[in-house]
Amino acid sequence: MLKETDNKTEHVKIYSDIFKKNEDSLIIDIPIEYEILNNSDKDITGCSILMSENGKMLINLTDYYVYDLNNKGSHIIHKLDIPQKAKKNLIVHRSTMKISKKDVRKLFTGYKENSIDTIKLSQSSVFRKENRELMNLFNKNNDSIVVNLFNNNQLLTSFRKKITW
């Protein structure tokens, strides 16, 4: 089973794209937390995690990254160990989401930030509640996550969920 959970540890961040200084938008990273519950009678030994942005698959490894909430130093690409009846929480960060500089300036009214380099904002769950209008704008996109779970290279199950920003 795959379900989105309320993340209280990761912070939303805004990054300037140093290669595209003249663009009118910046990158915003709104971490999403998912819980995977292994309710099968087999251990989960592998996974593939795919994301789509507005219906288009993100195929570059730099478009997003996923890691185990309890082991932040280890990015999950294919290896995932979840014993029977156990669960694991994953954090997904996406590096392709854009926000206009105008909207960034609006966000700054609530923070003491003046630089446009890397800005750490509030926790993901707090940010989502405080910025419903922006989240509703992101929700208009058809963004989704696909999680395939394996046992010894045999597909156990597959989940596709719309991302609710």
Contact 23, 61 (CB under 8 A): no
Give residue-wise pLDDT tens across range 128-139.
Answer: 998 899 999 898
**Beta-carbon count within 10 A of 36 CB:** 22
In the prediction, which pLDDT does 84 show? 94
In the prediction, which pLDDT does 95 show? 84
Give residue-wise pLDDT tens across range 64-84.
Answer: 888 888 877 666 666 788 999
In the prediction, which pLDDT does 103 show? 86
- Separation between Cα atoms, residue 48 and residue 58, nearest integer Å: 13
Contact 83, 41 (CB under 8 A): no
Distances (CA, A) of 104 to 21, 26, 98: 15, 8, 10
In the prediction, which pLDDT does 101 show? 83
Question: pTM for this structure?
Answer: 0.82
Residue 139 parent element (H or E) = helix 132-139
In the prediction, which pLDDT does 27 show? 87
- The pLDDT profile of the chain, 165 residues, written as one tens digit per residue, is 899 998 888 899 888 765 566 678 888 999 999 999 999 999 999 888 999 998 899 988 788 888 888 877 666 666 788 999 999 999 998 888 888 888 887 877 766 655 556 778 888 999 999 889 999 989 888 899 999 999 999 999 999 999 988
- Separation between Cα atoms, residue 7 and residue 35, nearest integer Å: 10
Nearest to 90 by CA among 104, 106, 77: 77
